[in-house]
Amino acid sequence: MTSQELFEQIRSKRSFLCVGLDTDLKKVPQHLLAGDDPIFEFNKAIIDATAPYCVSYKPNLAFYEAAGTKGWNALVKTVKYLRGHYPGQFIIADAKRGDIGNTSQMYARVFFQEMDFDAVTLSPYMGSDTAEPFYSYAGKWAVLLALTSNASARDFETLKLENGEMLYERVLRTSMDWGTEDNTMYVVGATQAAQLGSVRAIVPDHFLLVPGVGAQGGSLEEVARYGMNKRCGLLVNSSRGIIYASGGRDFAEAAAGAAAQLQSQMSMLLQKAGL
């Protein structure tokens, strides 16, 4: 999927919502736990309920790896279900990988060739050779960590270098040469909305994956104000605020309601931006 194709999905659905599938067995409704595959059944219900309101899904791999082989199998089934029933959805593996070249080749193979994700999140801090294998797959994306929403991001990401720029700004400027706006996206946390302007000054045309709206307290309006570009250029992720909107039998309906509410706000923001 190219950036233009992603924008066309956004414009068609009047939404730039990414639903985070951070599926925790401890939070799955009790009535699903008796089944053979409660993680997948939960995901399937969430997907069916929220697909009309979003353009992307982002499984966080830690939640599946924590459940061992059952969790990994549920992840495989989730991706296959999305591909079979909602082929227009942009699927991101939130894996935050980043290792030496031969190891990265294996990561790229499993996420892009074996599992057919559209994109994978990567840590860029070991340099370009850790990302190169992911760029060898046509139509696939590298999503590079830039300025994250966690409180201790300031430990490294906002350190000032000798020339006065911050470390995350160096990451943006350097990694722009690794790929293009059709295969490189950047993670910028919603709680860092005020700094989205400086991010946009460096990468005006790239898509940004923005977590932190909802449960983490980020403002959707501020994200749009500082981060939106002429093709929207945003995928705003909400995880807990949608998938755990209810812990009862109505969990899917509650998720649909939460996603619909965000989609409605996004539609108004797109309209305001003339998109």
Alpha-carbon gap, residue 16 to 228, rounded angstroms = 10
CB 193 within 8 A of CB 222: yes
Element (H, E) at 262: helix 251-272
Catalytic annotation, pick one of 27, 70, 77, 96: 96
Rounded CA separation 272/196 (Å): 19
Distance CA 273, CA 259 (A): 21
Strand partners, 60: 94
96 is catalytic: yes
Say if residues 34 and 72 touch (Cβ distance below 8 Å).
no
Query: Measured on CA atoms in the order 4, 114, 123, 87, is the torsion positive or negative?
Result: positive
CB 126 within 8 A of CB 99: yes
Q: Catalytic residues, which ones? A: 96
